Homo-oligomer: A and B are copies of this chain.
Amino acid sequence: MKMDYEASAILYQLLCLNKQISPKFERCTGISPARLELLHLLFEVDEISQTVLQKEVHIDSAAITRHVQQMEVAGMVERRRNPEDQRVTFVKLTELGREKILAFRQEKEIFTKQLLKDFSGDDKTRIAELLSRMQDNIREL
């Protein structure tokens, strides 16, 4: 049936598009999408625990640990234990981190603008809607 062929093709398109976006995003902006997402969150919250971070970004806590460790080495982030609960560690942008993220965000804007070139406002709301319906559809798989 034609329906199922189309459905397969759409899934394929999605996977393909993503495979192209990630490396290009990184080449254009100088940072991986996931890590920028992390920084972006840190930019807004001042100080945050890794668990909360993990839930916001939807990646594994192991991945969070590694990202944060590397960013710490790069001097973009500081960590400290929560005195009230020694289990949790707070993460916070350094001054250097705050500076750098501004540059990254500009690059990201340029990138997203290119990605959605010639998209009308209607196109944008439409795609956002369709994507989130897909997300809902597979939520409980």
Contacts and interface: CB of A to CB of B under 8 A. Distances in A.
B133 A130 contact: no
Contacts of A73: none
Interface residues of A, number: 55
Contacts of A127: 10, 127, 130
Main SS of the interface on chain A? helix
Interface stretch (A78-86, A95-103, A108-116): A108-116
Copies in the complex: 2
Given A17-B131, A20-B135, A116 B7 contact: yes
B128 A24 contact: no
Nearest to A114: B137
Nearest to A12: B37
Nearest to A23: B141
